[in-house]
Structure 1
Amino acid sequence: MSTVYNFSAGPAVLPEAVLRTAQHEMLDYNGTGVSVMAMSHRSPEFQSILHHAEQDLRQLLGVPSNYAVLFLQGGASAQFSQVAMNLAHGFASIDSVVTGNWSRIAHEQMGKLTAAKIRLAAQGGERDGLKTLPSVGDWDICTESAFVHFAANETVDGLQYGEMPHLSDGLPPLVCDMSSEILSRRINVADFGLIYAGAQKNLGPAGVTIVMVREDLLARCPDSIPAVWNYKAHADRQGMYNTPATYPIYIAGLVLRWLQTQGGVGAIEEANRVKAELLYRAIDGSGGFYRNHVAPEARSKMNVVFTTGDAGLDERFVREAALCGLRQLKGYKTLGGMRASIYNAMPLAGVAALAEFMAEFVRKNG
């Protein structure tokens, strides 16, 4: 089979080494004679898988000891409501920064199961026809709000905070959706009250969502929330309140181990920088054939969006690219154009192949 590069925004590409290990262990995990898929979540074998996944995550991101790490279900979209239910009880408001598709949906969903008012603290805009992100200094934060929610990277719009926002002491805790960039660069977890991330972009398959929450915030979780949605209930039972997504956690653990072999988050951050620069050079060096409508300082290193400006030509690009093994390049349904998601597991060779195809497409159609 010829090489296929998967540029899907999610579920996304996984490291080949991870898939081969999973293939080898599919019927017999570590000599147990049992597949992880059929393994009790309370067995010593799965407890070891869960423990090592958490420890690798803590080491890779430098997660402080006063943060609980939870492996939950429901995807990142469930967190739009769950974080509000757990952390906003007794507060009059939540601050929300809207910069693209997913933070907009979060803004709309957070207020449905809480009495707190959802305040628009800041909104993305445009400068000279290019999409921009509001700087932290321009966020209108209410000091009495329960927390400030934002998305670090917007997969649909191709926007990303180049410098991760943080707030000064005395302001509400930051809550961040890091689904599409978790483990792609170094961060200071202590700058956040809570981080959540769906696994299916940079961490593993769909089915598990990582939540890292500062332990003092668990005191906010009211007993009135059903336990299955209560962070404290999950933390108190070491993630065993109900059956976790065992196989996705197993795969996530393999991805975390793979990241260790790549040199950790610092090394993968540099690799991601090189890949993104290569792809943006292909766009900017096309003489205007390809267009990216994001201000340079706000360009995503995870999701590169571009268009020819001609819907028919965009369709041809996607179709011909797929024939060359460059798959899932169609842009989000509401924006059109193209989108190349170049997460941690996308090799440099895949990005180079896309850049080469882009140059050839210009030669044929420019």
Structure 2
Amino acid sequence: MNQIYNFSAGPAVLPKEVLQQARDEMLDWQGSGMSVMEMSHRGKEFMSIAEKTENDFRELIGIPENYKVLFLQGGASSQFSMVPMNLLRGKTKANYINTGQWSTKAIEEANRYCTINVAASSAKTNFTCIPTQDKWHLDPEAAYIHYTSNETIGGVEFHWIPEIDSHNDIPLVADMSSDILSRPLDITRFGLIYAGAQKNLGPAGLTLVVVREDLLGQPLTGTPTLYDYQIHAQNDSMYNTPPTYAMYITGLVFAWLKNKGGLMMMEKINITKANLLYDLLDHNDFYHCPVAKSDRSRMNVPFTLRNPALNEEFLKQADNNGLIQLKGHRSVGGMRASIYNAMPVEGVTKLVAFMNEFASQHA
């Protein structure tokens, strides 16, 4: 089979080594006689998988003991409700930064539970940049500050963590679904982070939440049991059956990241990949990237062709060259190359070579 490079935004490419190990262990996990999919989540076999998965995750980021790691279901979209349900803690307002479609969805959902102060927004620029913090208007009476660190659809990314010293009693919350583990992270700057697994961690079905312990325990009246972070923390994410196989695969990804040299090494690789693609987009006027250079995502690279009539031909030829899932999101059109941790440098190199050749053919 010809080498295929999958640029899907999610569910996304997984490391080949991880898939090979999962294949080898599919019918019999380490002599247990069972597939991981068949194991009781409370059995010693799966409990050992869960323990190693959490320990590796904690080691990769450097998560202190006063933070709980939760393995949940429902996708990142479930957190749009769970965050206000758990973090309002008697307050009635929350700060949100709007930088794209996922921020917008988070705002719409949180608005069901409290008054939203949109402290900054890049809507007027069609979400092609991130508002600098000097333009934010934070409400000091708000319960928390929420932002999306990487907008998968628009391709804008925070390359900095907001400074909230003047509001240090307000927890910082981040949706990190599409750039988590792509670089080192100082988790102590946050009250809570969350991420759906299917972009940069593992398969769909798992949602990771990291929450500071002091933020647990005061959910809104009427919060469903499964939407209470403290319930999950008290039960080590085993109050109900967690997404066991997704946890197993994600654990293999964590081990793969450690073997690759950890997050500092991964950041270097991700910078290399992103620079290869953005250099082409900046020096070949056949293509255009709409995102402000300072805010360009290393994970999701949107671009358009000078002649949109060539879009279908571009995608067809790309597919024929083993470069798949490059069509842009239906809401914005154009193209999008998602180059998460598991995308090798070789895949981006091949994409750049193809794009140069296609441009020369249709100049």
- TM-score, normalising length: structure 1: 0.96
1:358 and 1:305 map into 2 onto residues whose CA distance is 14
Asked if the contact 1:95–1:120 (Cα under 8 Å) also holds between the matched residues in 2, the reply is yes
Aligned AA for 1:182? I
1:2 and 1:207 map into 2 onto residues whose CA distance is 29
2:21 and 2:162 map into 1 onto residues whose CA distance is 37
Asked if the contact 2:100–2:127 (Cα under 8 Å) also holds between the matched residues in 1, the reply is no
2:150 and 2:31 map into 1 onto residues whose CA distance is 40
1:345 and 1:165 map into 2 onto residues whose CA distance is 27
| 1:31 alignment partner, SS class | coil
**Residues 1-366 of structure 1: pairs in structure 2 closer than 5 A:** 1-112=1-112, 114=113, 116-124=114-122, 131-168=128-165, 170-171=167-168, 172-222=170-220, 224-286=222-284, 288-366=285-363
Aligned AA for 1:168? D
Aligned AA for 1:145? A
2:25 and 2:127 map into 1 onto residues whose CA distance is 48
Aligned AA for 1:302? M
- Return closer, same or farther for 1:37/1:361 CA change in 2, 3 Å cut-off: same
Aligned AA for 2:216? L
Asked if the contact 1:130–1:295 (Cα under 8 Å) also holds between the matched residues in 2, the reply is no
| 1:300 alignment partner, SS class | coil
Unaligned 5+ segments in structure 1 are none
Number of equivalences: 362
1:309 and 1:176 map into 2 onto residues whose CA distance is 35
Q: Cα distance, 1:92 vs. partner? A: 1.6
Asked if the contact 1:125–1:134 (Cα under 8 Å) also holds between the matched residues in 2, the reply is no
2:70 and 2:127 map into 1 onto residues whose CA distance is 38
Runs of 4+ with >3 A deviation: none
Identity %: 49
Asked if the contact 1:41–1:246 (Cα under 8 Å) also holds between the matched residues in 2, the reply is yes
Q: CA RMSD, aligned part only? A: 1.4
1:166 and 1:134 map into 2 onto residues whose CA distance is 13
Asked if the contact 2:5–2:323 (Cα under 8 Å) also holds between the matched residues in 1, the reply is yes
Aligned AA for 1:296? K
1:340 and 1:139 map into 2 onto residues whose CA distance is 30
Q: Cα distance, 1:125 vs. partner? A: 5.2
Moved more, 206-215 or 311-320: 311-320
1:315 and 1:179 map into 2 onto residues whose CA distance is 29
1:108 and 1:154 map into 2 onto residues whose CA distance is 16
1:99 and 1:309 map into 2 onto residues whose CA distance is 25
| 1:190 alignment partner, SS class | helix
Could you list the per-position Cα deviations for residues 305-344 of structure 1 after superposition, in whole angstroms to 9, with x for gaps in the alignment? 1001433212221121011100000000011100000000
Q: Cα distance, 1:163 vs. partner? A: 1.8
Moved more, 153-162 or 346-355: 153-162
Asked if the contact 1:133–1:159 (Cα under 8 Å) also holds between the matched residues in 2, the reply is yes
- TM-score, normalising length: structure 2: 0.97
